Chains A and B, each alone.
Chain A
Amino acid sequence: MRKTLGLAVLAAALACGTASAQQVNVKIGVLTDMSSLYSDIGGPGSVAAAKLAIADFTKANPNVKVELISGDHQNKPDVGSQIANQWYDVEKVDLIIDTPNSGVALAVTEITKSKNKVFINSGAASSDLTGAKCSPNTVHWTYDTWMLANGTGKAIVKTGGDTWFFLTADYAFGHALERDTMAAVEANGGKVIGKVRVPINTNDFSSFLLQAQASKAKIIGLANAGGDTINSIKQGAEFGIVKGGQKFAGLLVFASDVNALGLATAQGLTLTETWYWDMNDANRAWTKRWQTERAAAGKFPTMVQAGVYSGVTHYLKAVAALKSAADGKAVVAKMKEMPTDDPLFGKGTIRADGRKLHPAYLLEVKAPADSKYPGDFYHVRATIPANEAFRPLKDGNCPLVSG
């Protein structure tokens, strides 16, 4: 009897010793704009980026099994909330990523906190996500309105653009961008002499451009994005805004917008981004893979889509280290503990308030004559180091940051 018991214990001990690596199951949801004005900024391209990240990670870590789903928030916070709730409750999603719409992002960050899951926002801009609305379950990747305001806004004021008129998209993102840029302009000696709030997804800006022209401001700040920015600039060219001596400040311009506008119309625009496909060989190589995965001709990845790749990669690393995706707060804490490193954004860190830090680049759109091949959009004018590119930790009013 004792011998049998001894053998049984030995067998059990041996079995424990040779236990195969634990399987970790993760489900990721890409919540994005599939059908409207931001769908080239995020959209199917974000899903493609997530797929690449999952493929790369699971190749090196076969014990992690990742399932991917995607959904269309249609730029409506109520639709986005409903999908987020359903994904967390019914579909058992662990991570929601992307959300290129600040209204949706602000809704999802609250839901994620209450359900203790993880939200990595790559697409939305509002700096409130790491400010007053910061959360221990949320990481703000890629960019935010403060970075845009202090990159583009500051650079323009320093080169003489000291009077501003704002065309602002009338929702969370536009208000945040206008507020942060106004602060940056005034801190650097400029003045804001007028603004007009325009509903999102407006077709025709002629009436607002007329008001901007009448204000005689040197700079017309476009606190909008995607299709709205494209329309503003296109119609501004028609009304002779630039010929009349005023300049546009594209506060949020993506490679997809420059592609749609064409270099002839967009040339000379100053903008700030944190990732450009043509900046180094690693980016170029990844872009080829992304284009194959995306399978739509003539498209180039935006920094939002690169951010989805980078965010998913770091999340999976944290989950693998913890061996479980169940506790959202713990996973985010692990993500903040581990320094980030991926082929696209290089080495970086995530701060206590959830802000991912990496350098920003001041870019200028090339004239058509300077562009040698499709996608050759930008001159890189300056690099803003990571510790200067984003709002100082103490200025954000984030409750997670003590003091």
Chain B
Amino acid sequence: MFEIFGIPSTALFGQLLIGLINGSFYALLSLGLAVIFGMLNIINFSHGAQYMMGAFAAYLLLQYSDIGYWPALIVAPVLVGITGVIVERLFLQWLYKLDHLYGLLLTFGLALIIEGVARNHFGSAGMPYTVPESLQGGRNLGFMFLPNYRAWVIVASLAICFVTWFVIERTRLGAYLRAATENPSLVRAFGINVPRMITLTYGFGVALAAFAGVMAAPIYNVSPQMGSELIIVVFAVVVIGGMGSILGAIVTGFGLGVIEGLTKVFFPEASNTVIFVIMAIVLLVRPAGLFGRGS
């Protein structure tokens, strides 16, 4: 056991692992945001509220329908994704041709409404949701005690991030999506139903947020403000990574999780703000973000 900057190495590795776990949430959420912005040019400020809806959906499914964690991982994102589809059909489709600001205002307003209703109904203290039986407990890795559930979080988010990236960058469906964003009328001329693709893409981005919410329910407090606390950081992550870049969102999410984890060891009072400091620096040096293509 050796020491790095006065912190024993075992403690440091433990914190790095924790940082990776937090990074998984950042990566999942910023992936959804990047997909929606990259494909739809909408700044989806209600992403945090949709993450919260996913967590609450998991809680309500357990309370009222006895549907446990594993089925909820699929059911909750589908349900919340459907609400996303409804929002897109009713409101967002009219905003694509307008300035970014309108989409931002609409989704921000939606977020406030959703959170207000949830808080009115459930209060702010939060709802209990336990870790599923099969993932309880943990193993002693020597340098730290790793709960099984947290290990699952890393694995699941890496898997989802990889699948999403692969679909968008390497499959034909993804190619249609990317083409439709660049030149919708031309793609339509080829007979591809562009509006439906866009709707489903928004639904998918929302479902990603809800999936992150279900994963967060057992370990973070399921409360109406859980989304608003996280979303500001996630936006910083997306900005640092580059607004439209899928790979950027994933890499930056994990990377910033690790950096935040290290800050918590060396200077915990700043752990809230370090990501924004980095965002300021990155914007000064590379305004389009680390992986972004300048617009």
A: residues with CB less than 8 A from B are 35-40, 43, 170, 196-199, 201-204, 206-208, 210-211, 213-214, 226-227, 230-231, 234-235, 238-240, 244, 256-257, 259-262, 264-265, 296, 299
Q: Which residues of B contact A262 (CB under 8 A)?
A: 128, 130
- B268 near A197 with CB under 8 A, answer yes
Contact of B261 with A by CB under 8 A: yes
In the bound complex, residues from chain A placing their C-beta under 8 Å from that of B22 are: 204, 206
Most chain A Cβ neighbours within 10 Å, of B150, B226, B268: B268
Give the CA-CA distance A170 to B264 in the complex, in Å. Answer: 13
Pick from A201, A230, A244, A264: contact of B126, CB below 8 A.
A230
How many residues of chain B have a CB within 8 Å of chain A? 42
Flag if A240 contacts B147 (CB, 8 Å). yes
Residue in chain A with minimal CB distance to B140 = A240
Query: Can you list 8 A-B pairs, Cβ within 8 angstroms, ordered by A?
Result: A43-B124, A198-B268, A213-B144, A227-B221, A230-B221, A234-B221, A240-B138, A260-B223
Q: Are B220 and A39 within 8 A (Cβ)? A: no
> How far, in angstroms, from A204 to B127 measured CA to CA in the complex?
16
Residues of B within 8 A of A240 (CB): 137-138, 145, 147
Contact digits for B136-154, partner A, Cβ 8 Å, 1 yes 0 no: 0110000011010110000
Q: Is the CB of B126 within 8 A of A265?
A: no
**Residues B11 and A40 in contact, CB atoms below 8 Å apart:** no
The reply on B200 being an interface residue by CB < 8 A is: no
Query: Which of B21, B130, B223, B261 counts the most A-chain CB atoms under 10 A from its CB?
Result: B223
Q: In the assembled complex, how far is the CB of residue B157 from the closest CB belonging to chain A, in whole angstroms?
A: 15
Show the binding face of B for A, using Cβ within 8 Å. 8, 10-11, 14-15, 18-19, 21-22, 119-121, 123-128, 130-131, 137-138, 144-145, 147, 149-150, 219-221, 223, 225-226, 229-230, 261, 264-265, 268-269, 271-272
Complex alpha-carbon distance, A296 and B149, angstroms: 33
A210 to B265, CA, bound (A): 10
Contacts of B125 in A (CB 8 A): 40, 226-227, 230, 256-257, 259-260
Measured CB to CB, the closest approach of chain A to B121, in angstroms, equals 8
Knowing A239-B147, A240-B147, say if A203 contacts B126 (CB, 8 Å): no
How far, in whole Å, are A146 and B229 apart by their CA atoms in the complex? 31
Q: Determine whether the beta carbon of B11 is less than 8 Å from that of A36.
A: no
Partner of B261, one of A199, A207, A235: A207
**From residue B99, how far is it (CB to closest CB) to chain A in Å?**
29
B208 to chain A, nearest CB (A): 19
Distance from A61 Cβ to chain B, minimum over Cβ atoms (Å) = 33
Question: Are B18 and A206 in contact, with the CB atoms below 8 A?
Answer: yes
Q: Are A197 and B269 in contact (CB under 8 A)?
A: yes
CB distance from A332 to the nearest CB of B (A): 32
Min C-beta distance of B191 to chain A, whole Å: 46
In the bound complex, CA of A203 to CA of B267 (Å) = 17
Contact partner of A37 (CB less than 8 A), chosen from B131, B225, B271, is B225
Chain A residue nearest to B260 (CB atoms) is: A207
For A202, list chain B residues within 8 Å (CB).
271-272
With A211-B11, A213-B145 as contacts: A238 and B126 at CB distance below 8 Å: no
From B19, which residue of chain A is reached at the shortest CB distance? Answer: A207
Q: How far is the CA of A262 from the CA of B8 in the complex (A)?
A: 36
